[in-house]
Structure formats: C-alpha cells, structure tokens
Structure 1
C-alpha cells in the first residue's frame, strides 16, 4: 500500500520540478537580465534618472528575482528527493551547493535594490550632491553585477553533481545528465576566468547550461521520471 502511494508522488514531484524550472527561467531572465539592462548605463546620471522615472518597473525586477529564488530553494529540495536513491551524500551536497548559491546571489540582488533608498529625493539624502547620489547608484549596480558573477561556480558545482546523478540514475535519460554536467562546467569556467583572467572570460561559457537547462526542463514537464525505475532504485538503496 505504501509503495502504491509513493510512486505517483514521485511523478508529481518531477512535474512540479519542471514547472518550477519554467518559472525560474522566466523570472530569472526578467529579474537578472532584462529589467536590469533597461536601467544600467555606463553613465551614472542616466542610470539614476532611469530608476527615478520608472521606480515600479525597477522594483518589479527585484520581485521577479524573489520568485526565482523561491523556486530555486524548492528545486534544491525536489532534486534531492528525486536523486537521493542514486547516491544520497552527493544528492545532499548538490542541494547544499544550490542553496548556498541562491543565498549568495541574494546578496548581489540586495545591491540592486539599495538604490531605491536614495533615488527619488529622500530628505536624508540632501547632504549629498546629485552627482554623489548618481555615483552611489551606479556603484551599487556595479557591485550587484560583480557579486553576481563571482559566486557562479557554486551553482555550477550543484549542476554538475545533479548531472552526474542523472547520468547514473536510470530513471532519466543519460544525455540530460551529460548536458547538465557540461553546463555546470561552463558556469565554473565563466566564474574562474572572470576572477583570474577577465580578458578570457565570456558569456559563451554559459551556452551549455542554456541548452542543458532547457532540455531538462522540457523533459521534466512533458515526461517526468520513470516511476517504476525510480522505485526500483529506491528499493535497492533501502536494501543497502
């Protein structure tokens, strides 16, 4: 009876993970890329003016990130549940790396939100000249961008560990695991070159993750996991 109840739940968990991955892609694009790009300029005055003229859109960028972060935390749990029958310590390590990477990117996003404190003419900012306020605004957004890149390897490691588990699991296609490992390695390469050799760093390192993440998302939404194979793997793990 317990087995009959558990199997459909794993199928539902997989589909839920797929939906959360879709939301992560949508809101991550909005909160991390598209909306910030509408405000950040190389000119401090222009950046501050854009924020002051569209404060709701600017704040929506942060709200979009919050949705992404909630989804990422939930995905850390769901992938742990789905992959722990393969090798529990590695599944747990992947969950930890995923959670820490989400938390550290949250630090970066705090610097994105900070300019809302002073852009708009708050009374306590009167001792600062407009040029100083503009410079502080652009500096905060530069820190947001920089901090977002310097911890990228942690998410890459989480992805590589999940990819390895998927490759070995038997209830998801091995190709998805390979793509996810390559994507994670690309994130690590982007992080390391950004820190150690900026002249060689490129967003092209992120391309494998775009492919692997999209493939895994589509598979989880449309197919889910092979529940019978997952159950067999889980029974084997319990027998050890």
Structure 2
C-alpha cells in the first residue's frame, strides 16, 4: 500500500473529525444549552427578562449557530473526499442533502436577530406595549423553532447515504453506519410526530427518538478525530 496515500486518508479523516467536533459542540450550545437557560415557553415575560438580562449569552448563541452552519458546509465535503471511493453517487447524494440545509439554516437565524431588535431600546419600539413586545418575541422564537423542525428533514436525510457509505467502507466501524442510518429514520419520525401530533412535545419521546443519531454522530466524530481511517480491505483509498 502507498504510505503517502495512507497518511492522506488518515489526515482527511481527522480533518473531517475536527470539523464534526466543531459542529457538535456549537450545535449543542446553540440548540440546547442557550434555550434551556433563557427560554420559558409558557412564560413570555420571564423569557424576555432572561434575554435582556443575559443578552450576551443570547448573542453568543447566535454566533455559535452561524459557526455551526459554516462548519457544516465544509464537513460533507471533507467526508466526500474520504468516502467517494466507496460509492461516488452515494457520496454526492450525501453532500447535496447536507449542503442544501445550510442556506435555510442561515435564513432561519434571522428570527433570532428579530428577537434582539425587539428586546432593544430603540425609540421606534415605544409604540408597542410590553405585552405586544413579549408576544412578538415569542412569535419569532416559535418561528425559529418551526425552521429547525423543517431542517430536521435534511439533518436526517443526509445521514442515510452517510451511514451507508460508512457501513460499506471497510475502514470505519459498521455499527456507526447502522446507527447513522437509524438516525435518519429517527429525525424523520421526530419531524412527523411534531407535525402530526398536537401534544408531541409533552410526550417527552423526542430525545429518545433522536438518540441513535446523537450516538452515531458523536461516535463518528470521535472515531474520525482519534482513530482516523485505515485502508479499506479492497485497497481503495481516498488520496
């Protein structure tokens, strides 16, 4: 085996792992940590007060989101370089389904910029009462969440060709491939439940449905970052 090609394959895997790590960490911070600290969905006054009191944290969440989506633009390209020798068509499909979510993600963040404007002290806001401002803040936060719901379709779909490529690669653990494909199903079920069942959030099953995806993506991230990728049994390697 060409030693230079082997080194290149491992280096590409670790670059992909590093990109994935940034996506995971910034995603957890912006999608889970910040909302848990600031947003009280059934209490608009408390939510507005939290955002005003910890405005820097809210702004940090926005920046974290933008960093996450920027790195997610490059992640599938690095994975494509690593996995294109397994199946070129599936690798292209993986990239398309991942990248298509990025512009939607950036546009969706505009809802959070709207919230920032509403909690500010600009003079034009004085025409609104406190109740009206609070209602608008919750409106844009809910609109942002609706955008996230739409994005779950693509966050799920790209995992299926990704999982298939990992499963077939021969140089990455098959179990990660299986979990990634299961994660695709989980995301789509989560979207369907939220759309079709009025009290879906109150059921508390969303996190369990998305568990395979969480395990698979974090596991794949650390495997690529720490272990890299070996030569496949067939000798095919991404140079």
TM-score, structure 2 as length reference: 0.89
Q: Secondary structure at the match of 2:193?
A: helix
| Aligned-pair CA distance for 1:167 | 0.8
CA distance in 2, matches of 1:72, 1:133: 34
Q: Is the CA contact 2:163–2:177 (under 8 Å) kept in the aligned structure 1?
A: yes
Q: Is the CA contact 1:44–1:138 (under 8 Å) kept in the aligned structure 2?
A: yes
Q: Is the CA contact 2:6–2:237 (under 8 Å) kept in the aligned structure 1?
A: no
| Aligned-pair CA distance for 1:33 | 1.1
Q: Secondary structure at the match of 1:233?
A: coil
Report the counterpart of residue 207 of structure 1 in structure 2: 211
Higher relative contact order (CA 8 A, sep 6+): 2
CA distance in 1, matches of 2:113, 2:29: 15
Q: How does 1:130-169 map to 2 (within 5 A)?
A: 130-169=130-169
Moved more, 160-169 or 146-155: 146-155
Q: How does 1:1-240 map to 2 (within 5 A)?
A: 5-41=4-40, 42-199=42-199, 202-203=205-206, 204-226=208-230, 228-229=231-232, 232-234=235-237
| Aligned-pair CA distance for 1:199 | 4.3
- Structure 2 spans left out of the alignment, 5+ residues: none
TM-score, structure 1 as length reference: 0.89
CA distance in 2, matches of 1:131, 1:199: 26
Moved more, 179-188 or 111-120: 111-120
Q: Secondary structure at the match of 1:222?
A: helix
CA distance in 2, matches of 1:156, 1:118: 33
Aligned length: 232
CA distance in 1, matches of 2:94, 2:68: 18
